[in-house]
Structure 1
């Protein structure tokens, strides 16, 4: 086989499918976004100003929640939610290992201990039956992650949390714009957390949000993002007062007006962004439907994913290559694949805390097989076609 043969993998000296790398995710910024930020830069407010409250109001309306509290990252949102839930030393919180570490780290920040429930094999969402088996007298809350953009089984998780007196926190950082039984993500748990990192559905550069219908949670969230202080400087200015009190130990997790202006502009395009993500996912679904060496994650009929990620699992029994080899071959074709995620408790820090392999066998097996393909709204049909072409090329060569 000659080196210029289109079937020769780039990793073996052939020509790549693309000449430039296609990342797995990327922000979509237009002139309206830029103007919104510039307008704030020319205003009297740069940090906590009127755009914060406007962004919170619009976001709450968008997801159907009563209260929204903006913070400076998705991680800060998780920390704030854990704090508002009253998690502290001696408390256990059931979380999923198939997530970014922040979903469990927020429990550690508050002095609690994460307990990991396993995932469903076909969706990689937190398995309610595994959660139920992990509930103990020390359990205070459940943190459910809407992995890749598909909502968890919130009816089952809410039933569990109600039966055991637990607080249900939805980590919906992957799922802005998704629905569960025709209900919007943001209305399904006691508190719901979102991220506005550049690869997410909308971006504020860095940023996050916690939404809730509980006024007590909202008050605690607002204070926590501002050092635990009960009134911010705008309230004091309006009242002509200098006095404030720090009632609890909080953090500086405020999101500046600059970022909120970008968020407001991006929010107007959310429906368009989610629709495009779904179009790309549908193209992938169709292209990979009959490939024995690969299968896409299952999508439940009662849910509509907003597709933050498009994750496939390799059927390694049908390949003469490892996941690492497939990953490297796709990268050589200039397809910016990734892996989401290493099980949280496999990380060295968690090993030091006494966690070890074998806790969640379904998640661990999945980790060895998963690959994330590029998916973001600015991808063209040609970009999507390049991904499909590269996947088929690599798996054809590596198939037994």
Structure 2
């Protein structure tokens, strides 16, 4: 039996949307990306949604936007993808590992305070397998010690925490659109925030720190003048990816239900034979 690593849920709708973007002649970040960001912003219920080319880029820019720098410390869980630690090191800071809870494999909130030092600047909770961390306690600790919270929500679209959508509670939340994720654009990511300063910083830094992207300049009567106003990176998404993301976002809830049904079949089939995460059973 040949069991594939993963098969993305791609239909004719995605193919048609991508073809329209290709035929438009505008392939890089442009009108489709703006439309995708606005749709995602509305779906999550936040003031700002900034697209990037990966969740790694999203985490990197979010930490940069809150001012994490050399010799700072950022608390992260032991159970996460390597990028959660790498982005901290990119900025010259130190990732501080916090153990996880057995019941859901998320960061153990009872251990966080013991790891806080004068150098601590932020906490990155990772919602493993789509199961939200204890955000009430994490935000309470962050307020007490004047820390920022950047959510790694690569697994958590569309997840809810006590009726609130993931992406609305922290200083910034980072989503992944990798090939295996619940919404895919092949590669891609998104940062959501309600803080205009964080949004502005990320918007600048995702594209070389320039004051206006190519589409903005094209729309503005072909005025190609721009300023480089900040240190930046090549982290932008394309209109081709955004065209695909728009279709995926529109059927996100339907795809979630399909995945839930598949998961329940696996759990029924293997019940009593293998041990599941307690909050899954």
Query: Which residue is equivalent to 1:274?
Result: 256
Instruction: Say whether the 8 Å CA contact 2:149–2:170 is kept in structure 1.
Output: yes
Query: Which residue is equivalent to 1:377?
Result: none
Deviations 1:247-270 (A, max 9, x none): 221101110100100100111111
Query: Which residue is equivalent to 2:19?
Result: 38
Deviations 1:48-75 (A, max 9, x none): 1100100000011111111000011111
The answer to whether 1:299 aligns with 2:271 is no
Query: Which residue is equivalent to 2:190?
Result: 209
Give 1:87 shift.
Answer: 0.8
Query: Which residue is equivalent to 1:184?
Result: 165
Give the alignment's TM-score, normalised by structure 1. Answer: 0.68
Give the alignment's TM-score, normalised by structure 2. Answer: 0.95
Query: Which residue is equivalent to 1:107?
Result: 88
SS in 2 for 1:231: coil
Give 1:168 shift.
Answer: 0.3
SS in 2 for 1:264: helix
Deviations 1:289-321 (A, max 9, x none): 433xx3111228xxxxxxxxxxx9xxxxxxxxx
For the residues of structure 2 that align with 1:109 and 1:44, how far apart are their CA atoms?
35
Give 1:286 shift.
Answer: 3.1
Q: 2:247 is matched with which residue: 256, 259, 265?
A: 265
Give 1:239 shift.
Answer: 3.8
Query: Which residue is equivalent to 2:8?
Result: 27
Query: Which residue is equivalent to 2:66?
Result: 85
Give 1:192 shift.
Answer: 0.5
Q: 2:230 is matched with which residue: 240, 248, 256?
A: 248
For the residues of structure 1 that align with 2:139 and 2:263, how far apart are their CA atoms?
29
Deviations 1:310-356 (A, max 9, x none): xx9xxxxxxxxxxxxxxxxxxxxxxxxxxxxxxxxxxxxxxxxxxxx
User: What RMSD over aligned residues (CA atoms) do the two structures have, in Å?
Assistant: 1.5
For the residues of structure 2 that align with 1:280 and 1:29, how far apart are their CA atoms?
17
Higher-Rg structure is 1
Query: Which residue is equivalent to 2:109?
Result: 128
Give 1:108 shift.
Answer: 0.8
For the residues of structure 2 that align with 1:40 and 1:238, how far apart are their CA atoms?
17
The answer to whether 1:160 aligns with 2:104 is no
Counting only pairs closer than 5 Å after superposition, residues 1-400 of structure 1 correspond to structure 2 as 19-23=1-5, 25-240=6-221, 241-291=223-273, 294-299=274-279
SS in 2 for 1:299: helix
Deviations 1:62-102 (A, max 9, x none): 11111000011111111111111111001100001211100
Deviations 1:192-224 (A, max 9, x none): 101111100011111000000111100001001
Query: Which residue is equivalent to 1:372?
Result: none
For the residues of structure 2 that align with 1:154 and 1:44, how far apart are their CA atoms?
44
Give 1:287 shift.
Answer: 3.5
Give 1:284 shift.
Answer: 2.9
Instruction: Say whether the 8 Å CA contact 2:31–2:215 is kept in structure 1.
Output: no
For the residues of structure 2 that align with 1:42 and 1:236, how far apart are their CA atoms?
21
Structure 1 runs not aligned, ≥5 long: 1-18, 301-311, 313-400
Give 1:278 shift.
Answer: 1.3
Give 1:29 shift.
Answer: 0.6
For the residues of structure 2 that align with 1:282 and 1:237, how far apart are their CA atoms?
50
For the residues of structure 1 that align with 2:12 and 2:120, how far apart are their CA atoms?
48
Instruction: Say whether the 8 Å CA contact 2:53–2:188 is kept in structure 1.
Output: yes
For the residues of structure 1 that align with 2:70 and 2:165, how far apart are their CA atoms?
33
